[in-house]
Structure 1
């Protein structure tokens, strides 16, 4: 029997009636939620975890076949919910984890109350009228660089992804996080992430969803958030005035305010 707690390095905090799952992005771990998660512990039961292959997860559990699509991670999320959440959850995902949460919800919608999607993108590649932010050539070149020189790519790209020009220490932190990730796993996960296209899944997601986008984001431009608002049946788009892809680190107050306003209906009974 799989030890899910060990596999995903699961930690549970808080005692509210509502459960919130926080899911990190590519090259990161649950520590990236250190500014947001504690704030919500007074309202809810908070579940933190690492995607398999990231952070302090069990690297031996990384199965290249299972994780050759984001559905493998979504199945893990459902197992975490089954074991650690007494009821339906609010899923807070960053970047690629927003799609992981959506896939999990589309498979088991009864397990989800709502989604908060921070910097989401269902497809990174431009396609006719769809603006994903990158051409196919851009992505091919990115993946070739990741494959040939992952540490060099991490050192160059992590500060640009973080943005936050007035907080350079955050760029250093993200660089270090990228560089701690097993290079072979990171290369595989990068390919799965940047070549994914889940636009057709958006209409199936019926849970209320907050799309939290930054005004200047190298990875997920505002046009992606606007597309998702049109495609997700019950969505709200909030654009934060912030440079970068990680507002939960670089603009935690604005992120918290937006999340609290959206999540208020589920916290009413906890006061």
Structure 2
């Protein structure tokens, strides 16, 4: 198995500390294009597509493997192994990839120096009274039903939610195009896996430092979720960005770059 080909792995730069970028649901590595130029010349940057996304090898997709976020975490570990990475990696993930990165760090803590989590949520569902993820089970089932009945309509709806109502239409269009270019079968599995995942019990096992980048007004992840993560992830830092939407790395890349640079300049035990 050629993992570099399977996951469409690309590297930028060949020296310096390594940053591994992991995209969210329905996206591909191209969503990091506004972030990567800031680290050119100082870092080795590794980008990839999960199997079933972007320009990955669709023939390698398995509905069984990817019915759990652990399957996506294995993609991360496979990519690191294929790239000869054994330690010192800064993992940068968006949305669903935040959980994936946390799982990968539990499996291989020595591989990672730190994790930077953009819009993380350990669980999108509400479990009152102890946890408010933002959605009732019926909400998620309705979203998946829309996906089954009208994939284009679902893509347009979710892209506007992710980008944020106040953002330009071009960004929403870019995201919608990404959703629509993703294989619907693989996308459906990734969506179900993402929205019904509950990784709250895994959080105490995370030993690496984490930066939680929470959006101020996020229709998918309430502010309380960022605060919950900050409490559950020992040694974590919570930074609330004055951003509406769920994709600051696309809508407000300068904010994300600044937060990353400040965090990576710190020494972590």
Q: For residue 41 of structure 2, what is the aligned residue in structure 1? A: 42
Query: How far apart, in 2, do the equivalents of 1:143 and 1:248 lie?
Result: 25
How far did 1:234 drift? 1.2
Query: How far apart, in 1, do the equivalents of 2:79 and 2:146 lie?
Result: 34
How far did 1:164 drift? 5.6
Q: Which runs of 5+ in 2 are unaligned?
A: none
Q: For residue 145 of structure 2, what is the aligned residue in structure 1? A: 144
TM-score by length of 2: 0.95
How far did 1:91 drift? 0.4
Q: Deviations over 1:217-255 (max 9, x none)?
A: 111121111100000011000011011100001010111
2:258 counterpart SS class = helix
Contact 2:85 2:111 in 1 (8 A): no
Q: For residue 50 of structure 2, what is the aligned residue in structure 1? A: 51
Contact 1:150 1:187 in 2 (8 A): no
Contact 1:164 1:170 in 2 (8 A): no
How far did 1:41 drift? 2.5
Q: For residue 192 of structure 1, what is the aligned residue in structure 2? A: 193
Q: For residue 108 of structure 2, what is the aligned residue in structure 1? A: 108
Segments of 4+ in structure 1 off by > 6 A? none
How far did 1:30 drift? 0.5
Q: For residue 16 of structure 2, what is the aligned residue in structure 1? A: 17
How far did 1:185 drift? 1.2
Q: For residue 60 of structure 1, what is the aligned residue in structure 2? A: 59
Q: Which runs of 5+ in 1 are unaligned?
A: none
Against the structure 1 CA distance between its residues 266 and 52, is the aligned structure 2 distance closer, same or farther, given a 3 Å change threshold?
farther
Against the structure 1 CA distance between its residues 72 and 20, is the aligned structure 2 distance closer, same or farther, given a 3 Å change threshold?
same
Q: For residue 6 of structure 1, what is the aligned residue in structure 2? A: 5
Instruction: State yes or no: 1:97 paired with 2:60.
Output: no
Q: Deviations over 1:97-145 (max 9, x none)?
A: 1111111111111111100000000100010121101111111111121
Across the aligned residues of Structure 1 and Structure 2, the Cα RMSD in angstroms comes to: 1.4
